[in-house]
Structures are given as C-alpha cells and as structure tokens.
Amino acid sequence: MEIVELSKLLNKMGAQLSTGREDFRNPNGVYMKAMNFRRFDLAYKAEGKKGLERDGRLEGDIWTAFAGNEVLLSLTASSIRANVDAGLPIGPAPEAEETFEAEEGRVLTRVHLSRERNRKLVEQKKLAAIKGAGKLACEVCSFDFEAAYGEHGAGFIEAHHLKPVHTLLPGHKTKLDDLALLCSNCHRMVHARRPWLTVQQLKERLVKL
C-alpha cells in the first residue's frame, strides 16, 4: 500500500515536472528504487539479505544525508508532499540553477528560489537595510555594489532565504527577517555544495585578502 501511495505522489510530481510520462514512477519502479537503497542498510544486510546492486551515485548521497537523521527525513518528506499536493510550480529548473539544488531536491529548491525572488518582499528588505545602515552591503563580506561600480551598481544586491528548505510549507508567509542580503559571490558560495551553508558558516569560512 505504501509503495502504491508513493507511486501516486511521484506521478503527480512527474506531471508538474512535465516529464511527459504517465508512468514516471510506477509501483514496480518505486519498489526497485527502494531495493536499491537496501544495499546501504546494515540492519537489512545483517539478516543475510542484500539490496539491488545497480545504482546511481545520488542514492548513496541521499542515504548518507538522511539515514542517520530520521527527523530530518520525515520533515523533508512531509514538506515535499505538501508542496506537491499544493500544486506549486516546481520545475524544470533552468540549468543555471542546478548548483542551487539542496539535499531535499528540486521540489523544495524551487520553493526556496521562488521566495528569494519575491520582488515586493526583496524591495522591502532593501529599503529596510538602507534605512538602517544607509547602504546595501553584503551581510557576509560587506561588498557594496554602488561603492564598487558607482551609479551602475546602485540598488543592486541579491536576497537569500534563511530558513531551512524543508520548512518551506505552503501558506507560510516569508518575513523580512527570513531574508539575508548577499553579494553574488557569497550567494553562490552559500549554495555551492550540499548541505547549504548558513550565512554565519560562510562568514566563518571567509578569508580576508
């Protein structure tokens, strides 16, 4: 029953991803994928069993990320299901955004990016920063586009959503405090590798030249 229900969810996701396939993940395919993961399960192997050996590298990455953290796995699965059920536009993501994909996958990454690009909220965040500091500067490295490029850089900076991707549920209202203003380099560095860094973690890694 669980395999069938998961297959239905994945097929719904497949339709939103415009795969063009009605059997994006049929029950047999879901079962086979579960057996691929079994090869990493020490408890399963201790019973003298083994999973399917054919694999993709991503399966190992996913197992490493979630096998030791059932709470995160549950929260992530619930968030993915909620966003798919809500019919949010989740893809396909432009190629340039692929480096932004979080451990939780494309669905929640797209939700994350859509919140970062809420133009009205970003403008409000910029105005609050100018009112408070008198300028727009990166919260990690303090880079100021206007100071570096003059009028051409005036008003430019990127927004980053601070909340963990798996907490972005439909209906949650993003607040100004949920966003950080970052220069393009620091924004890319936050998302450069999985798991994504926090703004504070990136600050700690910044080497002043």
Closest CA to 104 of 188, 34, 195: 195
Domain limit, last residue, from 44, 68, 92: 68
Q: Are residues 56 and 121 in the same domain?
A: no
- Lowest mean per-residue pLDDT among 23-27, 154-158, 196-200: 23-27
Number of domains into which the chain is organized = 2
Q: Which residue has the higher pLDDT, 89 or 2?
A: 2
Average pLDDT over every residue of 10-15: 73
Q: Are residues 117 and 194 in the same domain?
A: yes
Backbone angles phi, psi at 190, to 5 degrees: -60, -40
- Side-chain-side CA neighbours of 33 within 13 Å: the count stands at 17
Domain that holds residue 182: 113-205
> Looking at the domain assignment, is residue 105 inside a domain?
no
Backbone angles phi, psi at 89, to 5 degrees: -70, 115
Q: Are residues 198 and 126 in the same domain?
A: yes
Average pLDDT over every residue of 63-72: 78
Q: Which residue has the higher pLDDT, 154 or 85?
A: 154
Q: Are residues 191 and 117 in the same domain?
A: yes
> Looking at the domain assignment, is residue 86 inside a domain?
no
* Length in residues, the chain: 209
Q: Are residues 118 and 198 in the same domain?
A: yes
Helix axes 27-38, 57-66, angle to 10 degrees: 70
20 has pLDDT over 60: no
Structure tokens at 112: 């994350």
Q: What is the pLDDT of residues 117-165, one digit of tens each?
A: 778 888 999 999 999 999 999 999 999 999 999 999 999 999 998 887 6
